[in-house]
A = this chain, B = another copy of it.
Amino acid sequence: MTGVSQATVSLVLNGRDDGSVRIAPETRERVLHAIRTTGYVADPVARRLAARHNRILGVFTYEPVFPTGTGDFYHPFLVGIEESAERLGCDLLLLTSAPVTDGRRRIFHDDNRLRLADGCVLLGRSLDREELGRLVAEGHPFVSVGRRDDAGGPVPYVGADYPVATATVVRRALDAGHTALAYLGQGAGPESHADRFAGYRTTLEAAGLPVRHEPTADRTAADLLDTLLAAGITAAVVEEYADGAAIAGLARERGLAVPGDLSILALGDPTRPAASDIEFTGFRIPRREMGWQAVELLTGLLAEVPGTVRQRLLPCQPVDGATLAPPPSPR
């Protein structure tokens, strides 16, 4: 159309104006005009193949991205991710094709489109350590949403500061007069659980109080409640919101007052749908902010911005709630 070479079009298209390349303003205008009238857009695939990057960020989740069963726990993360991506002019590639093997999605399989993206954000309660290690080893740029232990190298992440948030909540209980507390949940396994428990443990140890821990896996609310009451526990620190809701509901059914007879502290937002109109004392995970910063961090890594902090812990927001009261006076 313009009698100009493909190279020139490419140069104009990319607005190359640096010292090494010069295009006559008149030619440039002619080409731009042709581009405008034809609506020509460079093929993003070829572009990526040649240029090695394309402003596409992968998003991998170990659970469905748009969850139905997890009470939309992940939704706020994605809101933050999307906002940030939009601001930075990036597209998001949801790696939904990852096949489920042994009950979980796998990043690495024989047709993964991971490398189509410049980098990748990882989301999920527990990431597969082997896959994480491989990401590190192969040098794929990525950021985890949620703190992760090293996996053959430091893992870049944007996490929530569960130790501090949990410690703060526990200290509130101590300040209210509680001396018999128990941690309900795994307290181990995924970093998010271990971190909570660590905050709980150190706070109680510092106060010289016993560190009680009740696992919840495969136990009924009734069993748990019985155990707590038998042990004289006055404040339950629950890892999972849903467990807190179940116990609170049951306690009230039995005529016990929450928090009058039993205080309940929830360590974060519901990850499973939990029907409850109670507002629990505890904290909120800055999910949107975490998603937002994860993308920020990832693009920072990609641009190799010097001085980028690769591991960030964000503070959680305390929630006063209505489930903490002084312990009942001993009978």
Most buried by B among A66, A89, A114: A66
Give A261 Cβ to nearest chain B Cβ, in Å: 30
- Distance A49 CA – B85 CA, assembled complex (angstroms): 25
Q: Does any Cβ of B come within 8 Å of A4's Cβ?
A: no
Count of chain copies: 2
Q: Does any Cβ of B come within 8 Å of A136's Cβ?
A: no
Stretch at the interface among A40-48, A157-165, A188-196, A309-317: A40-48
- Distance A86 CA – B99 CA, assembled complex (angstroms): 8
> Which A residues, 55 to 74, have Cβ-Cβ distances below 8 Å to chain B?
55-56, 64-68, 72
Contact with B along A92-104 (1 / 0, CB 8 A): 1111110100000
Q: Does any Cβ of B come within 8 Å of A78's Cβ?
A: yes
Contact B112 A41 (CB under 8 A): yes
Q: Which residues of B contact A95 (CB under 8 A)?
A: 91
Contact B96 A90 (CB under 8 A): yes
Q: Does any Cβ of B come within 8 Å of A83's Cβ?
A: yes
Closest partner residue, chain B, to A77 (CB atom):
B66
Q: Does any Cβ of B come within 8 Å of A22's Cβ?
A: no
Closest partner residue, chain B, to A113 (CB atom):
B44
A91 and B97 in contact (CB under 8 A), knowing A39-B108, A41-B115? yes
Contact B82 A66 (CB under 8 A): yes
Closest partner residue, chain B, to A109 (CB atom):
B41
Contact A64 B91 (CB under 8 A): no
Contact B94 A91 (CB under 8 A): yes
Give A226 Cβ to nearest chain B Cβ, in Å: 35
Contact B86 A79 (CB under 8 A): no
A65 and B82 in contact (CB under 8 A), knowing A39-B108, A41-B110, A45-B48? yes
Q: Which residues of B contact A99 (CB under 8 A)?
A: 89
A91 and B93 in contact (CB under 8 A), knowing A79-B66, A116-B44? yes
Q: Which residues of B contact A28 (CB under 8 A)?
A: none
Most buried by B among A45, A75, A82, A86: A45
In the A-B complex, the 3 residue pairs with the closest CB atoms: A92-B94, A66-B79, A44-B116
Binding site for B on A (CB under 8 A): 39, 41-46, 48-49, 54-56, 64-68, 72, 75, 78-79, 81-83, 85-86, 89-97, 99, 108, 110-116, 134, 138
